[in-house]
Structure 1
Amino acid sequence: MSTDSNPQKPFRVIMWCVPRSISTAITKCFSFIDNTKIWFEPYCLAFFQDYAMKYMGLTLPRSVTNFDADDYIARVKAAVKGTPLEHQLKPEMMDLSILLRDGVREQLNSLPEDRSIFLKDMAYGVTNFLDLLPSKESGFKHTFLIRDPERMFPSWRNLLMAQMKAHPLPGQKPIDESTFDLTTDPGFMMPGYTYKCQYDLWLHVKEHFDPEPVVIDIDELVSNPRELLPKYFAACGMPWDERLLSWDASPAIGGEWKTLYPMGSGGVTHQRALASSSFQPSRPKLQRSDMTPDAIKAIDETMDYYKKMAATRITLD
């Protein structure tokens, strides 16, 4: 997609998200910006590899200098043999160069200067690893995609149950919708249910990278893409083109993204987003009386983080 008759300086943008923020559809949209390489959740997927390895009694090194890919593949295959994970963890299909956050940082610090980069990730993927963000000299602009917790948690609860049913860990208790607790049942749940992770990262970026990082609310964006997307692009130094308001529905472009696992059809998590072709307004919020106690608990404990970031967001005015 041609965006301008005059060549534009390549951009480097990271969008830090919370779950269920329609960020994969945004990523697909941005895939159609000329000369742009997409990086998809390298830090988040490293987070889940850490979790999976620790669950199996294995430990990943912090540094790529201590990482032996062949040894890793052999240890993983031995650990999952005869378990439900045997058909899920396929290390031979992975881009092992970005298995570790250290490797992600190394590559992001040494990218070619003639190509634009858009990286979408979950903020909790760098919690406790802020020193492994790309360097300030790498030129990445850090941006934040926020979402009202009242919209996020009921949706995430449904996804977590679906994911845990589809990919059960050995010894996992049966998933019962009436008793499932999103705040405790997923073994990987972070303090602050990912909102604190995003808020802490935002504060870190303000202090060390950019005193006024770009913040945008996804529900406002999908309700007003024609007005808000150009503002986001301008704030990030990205070339805007109105043709980005709709895109090819084929999920095939996900296969071109730089990510730990091939995107394929997206499975239970990304399938709908990869088949998207435009932004659609969000569904109405659930009434609080229709929410489960665990979702209400998470909402009440995270609303302040959201509101503080929302006060700085891009607006229609």
Structure 2
Amino acid sequence: MPVAIAPSAPAPPKPVILWSHHRSCSTAFVRAFIAHPGTKVAHEPFLRVSALSGVDTIHGDRAFENSDKSPWYNVTRMDIASILSDNALPTFDSDGKLQADAADERTVFVKDMAQSAFRGEALAALRTDTKTFRGPDDAHTYQPPSPIDATPINPTIFPVSVLRKFTHAFLIRDPTRAIPSVVRGLSDVAATRPGARPGFSSEVAAYICYLEQRILYNFLTDPESEFNTAPWDNEGGKEQFIQQPQPVPLIDASDLLEDPHKVLSQFCNAVGIPFNPLMLKWDTDPVEEFDVPWRLMFKKAEGSSGFERDTRTPEEIARSLAEEDALIVKDLIKKYRGDYECVKP
């Protein structure tokens, strides 16, 4: 008598992380996934920790005053990653204790800055022209890849066993469009902090993270990196998850804004989330996920109802800047052009 063979269980939902940089149209991308009925969104959870935590900070000084009153103050990025890697969202109970939300069938979609995944000592080693970042006093020294596109060691705070529990993707934007907006946005946010100096500074410029995107992208794609060569442990075995697509999905914002339907469809197919037309339009109600001290950065995206092309030329964008900012922007575009060109599809 033939023996019936039970069908193999489908792979569980695997959370997706989109690694971006400031002003890469990532907030609009988040709005698309908030509108998707099959996903639930964690918006910049690691950035929140690095800015508000007192036990896991990448900064030389506390990023925001009164952060000790935030429930995020006693949280680490590993605490958050442990919850997200189980396809759940981090929440806080009435006593401010971190917990996972109720399980359901939706896929967790995370958007964060590539920089927010990095260890403080890695950022300090990469950003020797600023004292914005630092690692713990007992941290091992991080050795940046040399040359820059050599196989990098893991620059993140997360072990490979945790990183492999996510599907990773990247969103980038041409510096001629992103950096002018970064200068305005980060300057506005910095100005809200007590004792802030007026104008744009090297400390604020340190948050322009094209370099971190380049290194993280290389770490996840390089076939010789630890991410792709380390043995799989028994608990998080290879067969347990949908495999990381290679090359890692990468979107240029210009393509996204040119044809949102096409690009979102391709992206969803690559990361294992069914495309839904509801992703293309959304309402303009306030977004709970944007309730952070740097909410000013999301003002335009929060008031939008869909993806909007910026039809201005780079020259028109440059002319819209104050004279002192225009010179800063020109230098920053030149500085980060190479990082963008090396990653762009």
Q: State the TM-score, normalizing by the size of structure 2.
A: 0.65
Corresponding residue for residue 132 of structure 1: 158
Residue number among 176, 186, 196 corresponding to 1:150 in the alignment: 176
Q: Deviations over 1:280-299 (max 9, x none)?
A: 11242332864622211111
Q: Output the aligned Cα RMSD.
A: 3.1
Amino acid at match of 2:71: M
**Residue 243 of structure 1 pairs with residue 268 of structure 2:** no
**Residue 107 of structure 1 pairs with residue 83 of structure 2:** yes
Corresponding residue for residue 10 of structure 1: 13
Is contact 1:265–1:271 with CA below 8 Å preserved after alignment?
no
Corresponding residue for residue 310 of structure 2: 282
Q: Deviations over 1:181-205 (max 9, x none)?
A: 4xx142x715xx3110011010111
Corresponding residue for residue 33 of structure 1: 36
The 3-state SS of whatever aligns with 2:328 is helix
Alignment of 1:219-230 (within 5 A): 219-230=254-265
Q: Deviations over 1:220-243 (max 9, x none)?
A: 201211221111111111111223
Q: Choose between structure 1 and 2: higher helix proportion.
A: 1
Change beyond 3 A, Cα 1:159–1:51: farther
Amino acid at match of 1:152: A
The 3-state SS of whatever aligns with 2:314 is coil
Corresponding residue for residue 73 of structure 1: none
Distance 1:285 1:152 in 2: 13
Amino acid at match of 1:22: C
Distance 1:21 1:300 in 2: 17
Report percent identity of matched pairs: 23
Is contact 1:126–1:133 with CA below 8 Å preserved after alignment?
no
Corresponding residue for residue 235 of structure 2: none
Offset of residue 44 of structure 1: 1.6
Any stretches of 5+ residues in structure 2 without a counterpart? Answer: 1-9, 88-102, 120-154, 229-243
**Residue 203 of structure 1 pairs with residue 238 of structure 2:** no
Distance 2:71 2:313 in 1: 38
Q: Once superposed, which parts of structure 1, at least 4 consecutive aligned residues long, lie more than 6 Å away?
A: none
Corresponding residue for residue 112 of structure 2: 121
Q: Deviations over 1:31-73 (max 9, x none)?
A: 12224221111112222236697425x9xxxxxxxxxxxxxxx
Change beyond 3 A, Cα 1:233–1:8: farther
Distance 2:79 2:112 in 1: 15
Distance 1:37 1:134 in 2: 24
**Residue 308 of structure 1 pairs with residue 342 of structure 2:** yes
Q: How many residues align?
A: 257
The 3-state SS of whatever aligns with 2:263 is helix
Q: State the TM-score, normalizing by the size of structure 1.
A: 0.71
Distance 1:21 1:113 in 2: 30
Residue number among 202, 206, 209 corresponding to 1:189 in the alignment: 206
The 3-state SS of whatever aligns with 1:104 is helix
The 3-state SS of whatever aligns with 2:273 is coil
Change beyond 3 A, Cα 1:283–1:48: farther
Corresponding residue for residue 213 of structure 1: 248
Distance 1:265 1:35 in 2: 28
